A and B are shown apart, each in its own frame.
Chain A
Amino acid sequence: MSTQFDPPIVRPAPRRGLPGHLISIWTWRMAWRDTRTSRRRLALYSFSIVMGIAALAAIGSFGANLERAIEEQTKTLLGADLALQSQDPFTPEAEQLFRNLGGEQSREISLTTMVYFPRTENTRLVQVHALNGGFPFYGSLETEPATAGEEFRQTAGGAVVEESLLNQFDARVGDSICIGSFTTNILGRLKKVPGETVGLSAIAPRIYIAMDDLPGTGLLQPGSLARFSVYFKFGPNTNVTALVESMRPQLEKLRLRHDTVEERKRDLGRSMENLYHFLNLVGFIALLLGGVGIASAIHLHIKQKLGIVAILRCLGCSVGQTFAIYLAQGMSLGLFGAVLGGLLGLAIQSFLPRVMADFIPFTFQFHTGWLAIGRAMAIGFGICLMFSFLPLLTVRKVSPLAAIRVSFEPQVARRDPWRWVAGAVLAAGILGFALTQSGSWRIGLGFAAGLGVVVGVLTLIGKLLVAATRKMVPARMPFAVRQGVANLHRPNNRTLLLLMSLGLGTFLMVSLYLVQQVLLNQLISSGGQNQPNAVLFDIQAAQVKPLTSLIRSLNLPLLDETPIVTMRLSSVKGRSVDSLLSAGTKRDRGWVFRREYRSTFTDHLRDGEKIIAGHWVSQVDPDSTNAVPISVEQEIAKDLQVGLGDELVFDVQGVPVTTRVASLREVEWRRIEPNFFMVFPRGALESAPAMHVLVTRVGSSEDSARMQRAVVKAFPNVSVIDLTLVLQTIDAILGKISFVIRFMAMFTVLTGLLVLLSALAAGRYQRVQESVLLRTLGASRGQILKILLVEYFALGFLAALTGILLAVIAAWALTRFVFHTSFVLDWESVFLPLVLVPGITALTGFLMSRGILSRSPLSILRTEV
């Protein structure tokens, strides 16, 4: 043996700092070498953030597409430069204003009524739009055939009917359709109207006819629920916003509502932004959950690497170098997850517009949102890095002494200032994202605080449950059960992590489902056994008796008959509405003074109404000259700023009626029956022209169709709302909304599953050691399996229980304080996850442990321990 050894040279220690170490090739080579035995496991860890990044990428790309579409299609959002609307026929003053405004004009009268399809003998509540002129000036009515969008405008040209309505009754282009007393042909299928959503037209589908055909329907009568619109197209240099501002007082006076492209764009942009923000926050939850998974996985990974760190330190590796090696691994993991997430997001983003199609009032060309994907990848990488940093800090505190002292216990410095810095950066990152994504301080802070509370409560409950398992396992339980449950509180347990990931996933899914169930159940109970489910309205006073006879002849009960009198406010507490409006009343309150009130008179209150202040007066003397004691709904009273005893004067179709607030009512608006802001006593309004509403109950959809056919034939102006159909429609709309929400929540649940997988993979090292020892001591494979299953099932059960408890509290709070309704627990949606989550956890744990069970203890001892 002859090797010439040169004398060593002690060089000054270079102060490279972390960035310097991170650009060193050796750092990355060492990081790569060090992953040799754990690459598959590390790849699995990185999956934790894949779903979150994919969700953010898809939503971001969707948002960018929406934004571009709104910009590109600005004018088609309204179809005109300006729209003015009224609930009454336009007055001569209004007509003069329109003449002065000039430009190209188009008129529309829309009203809700029944139509009848003679071939299939079906009837249905629809919204009829009678149109003249060139509206829409921008964009077009999308019809099939395309020419139908123009042809219907000629007198007796025919009707264009919403596609969903034709599909519902299997009606075809060319069929006859009866609209009131007017029978015409179906010219084409209506697919899209500029600026309107399919979702909104689900209750009353749209039919377009020529304005000249409207009188022939006989539908437009005094008191009919109609909306009168005039659309304007101005020259390219007209500043419509300034024009509207200049004539605002006049519009207020004439009680005309206005809508401009800018307003529509702002409103649409705002609602789309809200939708985008909401979905983004849901996606972010998935990413945060993945971050928790990454932190936990890195924690366990580093724990297994402490020995190597100590050896490297013995060999002269500096603190910064060792930290850089494992930071490089964390960064690679984040980068790998980000690339996978980006690719998945790329695939999902083209799917999202289809999911959301019914809620977007325009079609748009889909473009891949590269910027959004890049942004999501950057956020995901950042989150991964921030969550990795805390557990990685342990590396800095590893003493080289650990290499020579087997029993050396690494001391984790609790007061390491870097821990506080890392924690603060993490909290600031989460808060920063919440603030930028919500677009409002309140919502951003609320989201971050809410998340903090849920995580805090999950942690607290987790700790309590762990403490409980420590004390509550009786010694007489079987060995496998005791061992399995004990694993929940033993050192290096993953109880908190799994409670967090599975619990958060369960919480999100169950709370969404519970709220949806409460809302649906409430609607269904409104249409329950003894409740009315068919409402007939727009009934003229002279039609009440013959219609009542018709209903009875069909063996249907007459459950309620309500008169409706339209009126407007002329003064409040002695001040005229005009002076109140011109005194600069806030715009959002202006409508309570301007609106048309549809009030009733009755001698009794309904089930859904409750007096909360004052006294209900059921009857007054018709000849009395005193102010009429009325009952006012509490919310409108707040808006009008009136209380008990205050005076309101109504203009009842030209006749002033002075009233006094005798009581305030709470109204359950969600009940599908006629509800009113103002209720007058009997004797007060009998002489006023009134429309009537009849309420009945039909046993089946056949009964409903039979009744509707009979009513429409005999009384073409009377409309029927079939609540069962409305319920189905609302159910379908809620179903679509909840599908979108669940689609997003799915990312969180999948992330939960991936975190579960990575946590189980990370804990495998420890489980292998324990299993090997137990098997060496004589435990059978069956016993080991039982121990593992008990542990995983218990973990899943605790996570599900915690998530469900929080979900029930959240759902209760949401229904109570946001939806203002009573909370009823749907036990099925509670029990199902209580069985499913532990089952899935145990199954995943079993699948992850199969290798351990099938191999000999010796082979494992040689390779893994």
Chain B
Amino acid sequence: MNTGAILEVEGLTRLYASGNGMLTVVKDISFALAPAATCSIVGPSGSGKTTLIGLCAGLDQPTSGEVRLDGITLGALDEDGRAKVRNDLIGFVFQTFQLIPTLTALENVMVPLELRGERLARDPAIELLRRVGLLERLAHYPVQLSGGEQQRVALARAFINRPKILFADEPTGNLDSETGKLVIDCLFALNADAGTALVLVTHDTELAKRTGRIIRLQGGSMVNGS
């Protein structure tokens, strides 16, 4: 049933085997996110934030519960089907940037479109790199870029496939506050322009406040959803 939400999470639980027993990392979480809406997930370390967005993005499979992205039930898809959904609907920004070290900045940005088989990936990629202020750095490899520059390349890559939803996992976690602010401004600007929904994992309560909704996690459970 499509409720019109871009992301619907119902009764999501994830258990991991730990020693002799099972560890509940995410416990019975349900929420929904409208298209173009923004939301942040906050909570202490080990509260299940990263696991939750991993499940929402189809990077992992829940022990129980369901995730629907744009009406598509992820649990019904196989691994390649979920990969296809990621490529078509999702953008990612990671705390550790996760650029492919063997590709230049331009090539890193082009990859999602190339994966779709699009031949004209170069021009949109250059345009996005121009927008994040890296037009002069197209041919640079990740090791030749600063942390802030790497994260801006990652932002450009996240938006190249025109995603309906963007997952950002501690996007400023590895940056100083000034660079972090620059990157976040860039992220929100791109997000607004693209009309993309945003799910942001962060420790930074000020940053969380810039989103329309805050989901607090504690011990794997949702303690409130404002």
CB B102 to nearest CB in A, in angstroms, measures 4
Do B84 and A318 touch across chains, with their CB atoms under 8 A apart? yes
CA of A403 to CA of B167, assembled, Å: 13
Question: In the complex, what distance in Å separates the CA atom of A183 from the CA atom of B54?
Answer: 102
Contact of B128 among A3, A7, A11 (CB under 8 A): A3
Q: Which residues of A contact B81 (CB under 8 A)?
A: 13
Q: Are B88 and A11 in contact (CB under 8 A)?
A: yes
A8–B162 Cα distance when bound, in Å, is 6
Does A405 touch B at the CB level, under 8 Å? yes
Among A5, A319, A400, A863, the residue within 8 A (CB) of B194 is A5
Question: Which A residues are in CB contact (< 8 Å) with B10?
Answer: none
B29 at interface by CB-CB < 8 Å: no
Known: A8-B163, A316-B83, A317-B115. A33 touches B59 (CB 8 A): no
Which residues in chain B, 118-145, are within 8 Å of chain A measured between CB atoms? Answer: 127-128, 131, 141, 143
In the complex, whether A2 has a CB less than 8 A from a CB of chain B is: yes
User: Size class of B's contact patch?
Assistant: 35 or more
A820 close to chain B: CB less than 8 A? no
Give a binary string over A22-47; 1 marks a CB under 8 Å from any B CB, 0 the rest.
Answer: 00101001100111111000000000
A406 touches B (CB below 8 Å)? yes
Cβ of B66 < 8 Å from any Cβ of A? no
Interchain CB contact (< 8 A) of B83 among A1, A9, A317: A317
CB contacts (< 8 Å) of A2 on chain B: these are 193
| A487 at the B interface (CB under 8 A) | no
Q: Which of B89-97, B207-215, B217-225 contacts A (4 or more CB under 8 A)?
A: B89-97
A24 to B112, CA, bound (A): 15
Q: Does B28 contact A (CB under 8 A)?
A: no
Q: Give the shortest distance, in Å, between B161 (CB) and chain A (any CB).
A: 7
Would you call B102 and A13 a contact (CB within 8 A)? Answer: no
In the docked arrangement, what's the CA distance between A320 and B80, Å? Answer: 8
Which residues of chain A are within 8 angstroms of B163 by Cβ–Cβ distance?
Answer: 8
**A97 adjacent to chain B (CB < 8 Å):** no
A314 touches B59 (CB 8 A): yes
Q: Is the CB of A863 within 8 A of B60?
A: no
- Closest chain-B Cβ to A229's Cβ sits at a distance in Å of 74
Query: Which residue of chain A has its CB nearest to the CB of B86?
Result: A316
* Residue among A6, A29, A307, A400 having the largest count of chain B Cβ atoms under 10 Å: A400
Cβ contact within 8 Å between A406 and B89? no
Q: Is B102 within 8 A of A36, CB to CB?
A: yes
Is B112's CB under 8 angstroms from A399's CB? no
Known: A35-B102, A36-B102, A399-B59. A315 touches B189 (CB 8 A): no
Q: Are A10 and B111 in contact (CB under 8 A)?
A: no
| Chain A residues near B90 (CB-CB < 8 A) | 316
Known contacts A33-B102, A406-B96, A316 near B112 by CB under 8 Å: yes
**Known A5-B194, A26-B114; contact A311-B87, beta-carbon cutoff 8 A:** no
The answer to whether A315 touches B92 (Cβ under 8 A) is: yes
Within 8 Å by CB of A319, from B79, B94, B116, lies B79
Are A1 and B98 in contact (CB-based, < 8 A)?
A: no
Contact flag A8-B60 (CB < 8 Å), given A26-B114, A37-B101, A403-B94: no
* CB-based contact A313/B193 at 8 Å: no
Q: Is A321 in the interface zone, CB < 8 Å from B?
A: yes
A320 CA / B78 CA spacing, docked (Å)? 13
| A401 CB–B CB distance under 8 Å | yes
Minimal beta-carbon separation of B168 from chain A (angstroms): 11
- Would B100 and A312 count as touching, CB distance under 8 A? yes
C-alpha spacing A7/B89, complex, angstroms:
9
Instruction: Tell me whether A404 is interfacial, beta carbon within 8 Å.
Output: yes
Which residue of chain B is the closest to A402 with respect to CB atoms? B59
On whether the beta carbons of B50 and A33 are closer than 8 Å, the reply is no
Query: Are A321 and B189 closer than 8 Å at their CB atoms?
Result: no
Query: Please, which residues of chain A bring their CB within 8 A of the CB of B111?
Result: 30, 312, 315
Q: Are B143 and A862 in contact (CB under 8 A)?
A: yes
Q: Per-residue 0/1 for A396-420: is the Cβ within 8 Å of any B Cβ (1 yes, 0 no)?
A: 0001110111100000000000000
Are A7 and B162 in contact, CB atoms less than 8 angstroms apart?
A: yes
With the chains together, A9 CA to B88 CA distance in Å? 7
Q: A1-B193, A5-B162, A399-B60 are in contact. Are A10 and B72 (CB under 8 A)?
A: yes
Residues of B near A319 (CB, < 8 A) are 79-80, 83
List CB contacts (< 8 Å) of A356-409 with chain B: 399-401, 403-406
Once the chains are docked, how many angstroms separate the CA of A189 from the CA of B94?
A: 85
- Determine how close the nearest CB of chain B comes to the CB of A393; give it in whole angstroms: 15
B117 touches A26 (CB 8 A): yes
A5 touches B102 (CB 8 A): no
CB contacts (< 8 Å) of A1 on chain B: these are 131, 189-190, 193
Contact of B127 among A3, A313, A316, A321 (CB under 8 A): A3
Q: Report the separation of the CA atoms of residues A35 and B101 in the bound assembly, to the nearest whole angstrom.
A: 10
Is the C-beta of A657 less than 8 angstroms from some C-beta in chain B?
no
B195 at the interface (CB under 8 A from A): yes
Residues of A near B87 (CB, < 8 A) are 315-317
B164 at the binding interface (Cβ < 8 Å)? yes
A840 CB within 8 Å of chain B: no
List of A residues within 8 angstroms of B103 by Cβ: 33-34, 36
B98 lies within 8 A of A314 (CB): yes
**Do B94 and A10 touch (CB < 8 A)?**
no
Contacts of A307 in B (CB 8 A): 98
Q: A401: which B residues are within 8 A, CB to CB?
A: 54, 59-60
A592 within 8 A of B: no
* Shortest beta-carbon distance from B129 to chain A in Å: 12
CB of B8 within 8 Å of the partner chain:
no
B interface list, Cβ under 8 A from A: 50, 53-54, 57, 59-60, 70, 72, 79-81, 83-90, 92, 94-96, 98-103, 107, 111-112, 114-117, 127-128, 131, 141, 143, 157, 159, 161-164, 169, 189-190, 193-196
**21 examples of A-B residue contacts, CB within 8 angstroms:** A2-B193, A5-B162, A13-B83, A26-B115, A33-B107, A311-B98, A311-B100, A312-B115, A315-B86, A315-B115, A316-B90, A316-B115, A316-B161, A317-B115, A318-B79, A400-B83, A401-B59, A403-B59, A404-B59, A404-B92, A406-B96
Q: What 19 additional pairs, Cβ within 8 angstroms, besides A34-B102, A316-B83, A401-B59?
A: A3-B193, A6-B162, A8-B164, A10-B70, A10-B85, A11-B84, A12-B84, A24-B117, A30-B111, A30-B114, A33-B103, A310-B98, A311-B100, A315-B87, A316-B115, A316-B161, A318-B84, A319-B80, A320-B80
